[in-house]
A and B are shown apart, each in its own frame.
Chain A
């Protein structure tokens, strides 16, 4: 053990020399791809999780989401039932159904947005933490009125269309005209926002209006907040039980924010699996390649091995030397993979609007895995080198 450092320096030099060979470079490329996948897998997963957490925490983890099942098998949820939730359950402090209406917003004959209008109640502003920049949010007294509140980007578009003040402007949506009564504060929002609404691009209308004017209007979601002191999962259970009694034929699922996070993480699992598969396959292929390169290196360097043995290297020294070499090789591939994987992750984040960071876990895993690949696939060549008869090795070419 005492001379490990000298052996290490030797091995380092030898590994660097080998690195210059083309065949090895391609093998390391494959190891790099493997590590890159692992890195992307781990970091994107971590980042997405962090993102989901951040967004839920912005809304409060006491949010309960009721997802109403669509389709023919279950009965349709009626607006009255959805609205009744708010005042009927002590476990719930506020609730708002969400009805998605017609798509495409027009102002002065020009398009000012391509999203769908969203029918909500007054409570929604607080539930979704929407801030009003000008005017006011919808009130429950507006029920049935053709009034709307627009997100910051829609307001921008209205101004661009020639109306200096979006407040009191008229929007045409699905053949009806709505008066703008409020403009929301700008807020950047990522894809995969828990409420499935990007407030900047949204137009909110009273839920009763949306319900009435939309053909086949359906309530897809009801957002609620647990009352103070009520655990979010208890609130979700209570909501589910309440609907089961009131609308037994409607299929629905009440989930707390924490459960939603878990669901999102499970969805990420698919991507993780895919990247994991790519990663493992290329690590195995690259590892076998590195093993071959090492085996060739061992047979090419028989004489050197013999000389080292004659100078006093034990079998263990030779084995260690070749193991270190192979680990240095795969680590080099791993470092490249780390860079490529981080770049890929940055791309994913940029596309998804997530906040990019290099997760420590991914670095640790990336370097750990590439070292492990080096050790695993280096064992056989190293063993072979250490087993050479020094006399035969010295006669070798």
Chain B
């Protein structure tokens, strides 16, 4: 469903070129639940942006939904992103002047769905994340955990192939973080959507079926890493 091969990304900083990703190979299949860990500055968010079609790699190939995305125009990429990707951010990124319902409906309106239909779908999905009684609340009327639940509903509204969550629990206390993780796990199981979670928290990582690590610009699959180091 999603396949990276030899993805490299380098940034120019004045005269020096810094290669952040040095040949990443990655496959994510439907229904996967995967974590990516790594030290700060190791390129986790950079990889996530490439996966989410927000940034282009310097080289390498990326196939999503059976298509090579490297030649797509901005228009096609945006439509593809709308169709296949759901983002969950550390800082929620809900639009402050919209209600929970309107926030969740937003990705649907970008694919041309009518307001009423998008509203119905948004309500349905908000009920799934136990936010059905907060439809008309604005983000500043919600707690951190509630905001993240709305954000997760927004990511799922368009039935994407994969949900990309960049430190989704980073701004939450441990109880709330656990709730959010349980929600992601449940949605992954019930809806069959693939979920990729970037995290610094080993506890969060261990909740995922598949774990991986970015180090020195390379992605190490969790199982291999563990086999190498002999860790459990």
Q: Contacts A13-B97, A317-B78, A391-B55 known; A312 to B115 CB distance under 8 Å? A: no
Q: Which of the residues B49, B110, B158 comes within 8 Å of A391, measured between beta carbons?
A: B49
Chain B stretch 123-166: residues in CB contact (< 8 A) with chain A:
154, 158
A145 at the interface (CB under 8 A from B): no
B109 at the interface (CB under 8 A from A): yes
Please, which residue of chain A has its CB at the minimum distance from the CB of B166?
A394
Interface size, chain B (Cβ < 8 Å): 30
Once the chains bind, are B74 and A304 in contact (CB under 8 Å)?
no
Once the chains bind, are B74 and A390 in contact (CB under 8 Å)?
no
- The A contact surface, by secondary structure, is helix
| Cβ proximity bits A1-18 to B, threshold 8 Å, 1 near / 0 not | 011011101100110010
CB distance from A364 to the nearest CB of B (A): 30
Q: Contacts A3-B109, A3-B110, A6-B109 known; A310 to B97 CB distance under 8 Å? A: no
Chain A positions within 8 Å of B55 at CB level: 391
Chain B positions within 8 Å of A316 at CB level: 75
Once the chains bind, are A394 and B89 in contact (CB under 8 Å)?
yes
Chain B positions within 8 Å of A309 at CB level: 54, 78
Q: Contacts A3-B110, A3-B112 known; A312 to B54 CB distance under 8 Å? A: no
Chain B positions within 8 Å of A14 at CB level: 97
Q: Which of the residues B93, B154, B158 comes within 8 Å of A394, measured between beta carbons?
A: B93
Once the chains bind, are A311 and B52 in contact (CB under 8 Å)?
no
Q: Contacts A6-B109, A6-B115 known; A314 to B97 CB distance under 8 Å? A: no
Q: Contacts A14-B97, A390-B54 known; A311 to B89 CB distance under 8 Å? A: no
CB distance from A89 to the nearest CB of B (A): 76
Once the chains bind, are A314 and B74 in contact (CB under 8 Å)?
yes
Q: Contacts A314-B75, A314-B78, A391-B54 known; A307 to B93 CB distance under 8 Å? A: yes
CB distance from A173 to the nearest CB of B (A): 76
Once the chains bind, are A311 and B154 in contact (CB under 8 Å)?
yes
| Cβ proximity bits B152-186 to A, threshold 8 Å, 1 near / 0 not | 00100010000000000000000000000000000
Please, which residue of chain A has its CB at the minimum distance from the CB of B118?
A6
Once the chains bind, are A312 and B111 in contact (CB under 8 Å)?
yes
B62 at the interface (CB under 8 A from A): no
Q: Contacts A313-B78, A390-B54, A391-B55 known; A3 to B97 CB distance under 8 Å? A: no
How far is it, in angstroms, between the C-alpha of A310 and the C-alpha of B154 when the chains are bound? 11
B195 at the interface (CB under 8 A from A): no
Please, which residue of chain A has its CB at the minimum distance from the CB of B115?
A6
Stretch binding the partner chain, chosen from B23-31, B36-44, B79-87, B202-210: B79-87
A49 at the interface (CB under 8 A from B): no
| Cβ proximity bits B83-124 to A, threshold 8 Å, 1 near / 0 not | 101010100010101000000001101111111001000000
Chain A positions within 8 Å of B74 at CB level: 314-315
Q: Which of the residues B75, B93, B97 comes within 8 Å of A17, measured between beta carbons?
A: B97
Chain B positions within 8 Å of A303 at CB level: 93
CB distance from B47 to the nearest CB of A (A): 12
Chain A positions within 8 Å of B110 at CB level: 3, 6, 308, 311-313, 317
How far is it, in angstroms, between the C-alpha of A156 and the C-alpha of B113 when the chains are bound? 74
Q: Contacts A17-B97, A391-B49, A391-B55 known; A311 to B75 CB distance under 8 Å? A: no
Chain A stretch 287-332: residues in CB contact (< 8 A) with chain B:
303-304, 306-317
Chain A stretch 1-55: residues in CB contact (< 8 A) with chain B:
2-3, 5-7, 9-10, 13-14, 17
Chain B positions within 8 Å of A2 at CB level: 112
Once the chains bind, are A312 and B93 in contact (CB under 8 Å)?
no
CB distance from A11 to the nearest CB of B (A): 12
Please, which residue of chain B has its CB at the minimum distance from the CB of A306?
B93
Chain A stretch 54-89: residues in CB contact (< 8 A) with chain B:
none
Most buried by A among B49, B54, B89, B154: B54
Chain B positions within 8 Å of A5 at CB level: 115
Once the chains bind, are A310 and B111 in contact (CB under 8 Å)?
no
CB distance from B18 to the nearest CB of A (A): 16
How far is it, in angstroms, between the C-alpha of A311 and the C-alpha of B160 when the chains are bound? 11
CB distance from A384 to the nearest CB of B (A): 16
Q: Which of the residues B77, B97, B107, B113 comes within 8 Å of A311, measured between beta carbons?
A: B107
Q: Which of the residues A6, A311, A317 comes within 8 Å of B87, measured between beta carbons?
A: A311
How far is it, in angstroms, between the C-alpha of A9 and the C-alpha of B118 when the chains are bound? 14
| Cβ proximity bits B211-224 to A, threshold 8 Å, 1 near / 0 not | 00000000000000
Chain A positions within 8 Å of B85 at CB level: 310
Once the chains bind, are A312 and B89 in contact (CB under 8 Å)?
no
Chain A positions within 8 Å of B52 at CB level: 310
How far is it, in angstroms, between the C-alpha of A315 and the C-alpha of B154 when the chains are bound? 21
| Cβ proximity bits A147-162 to B, threshold 8 Å, 1 near / 0 not | 0000000000000000
How far is it, in angstroms, between the C-alpha of A304 and the C-alpha of B96 when the chains are bound? 9
Q: Contacts A3-B109, A391-B49, A394-B89 known; A312 to B75 CB distance under 8 Å? A: no
Q: Which residues of A contact B (CB under 8 A)?
A: 2-3, 5-7, 9-10, 13-14, 17, 303-304, 306-317, 390-391, 394
5 CB < 8 A contacts A-B: A10-B109, A314-B74, A314-B79, A316-B75, A394-B89
Q: A312-B83, A314-B79, A394-B93 are in contact. List 9 more A-B contacts (CB 8 A).
A: A3-B113, A307-B93, A309-B78, A311-B106, A312-B78, A312-B110, A317-B110, A391-B49, A391-B55
Sort A-B residue pairs by CB-CB distance and give the 6 closest, nearest first. A312-B82, A6-B109, A314-B78, A2-B112, A311-B107, A312-B110
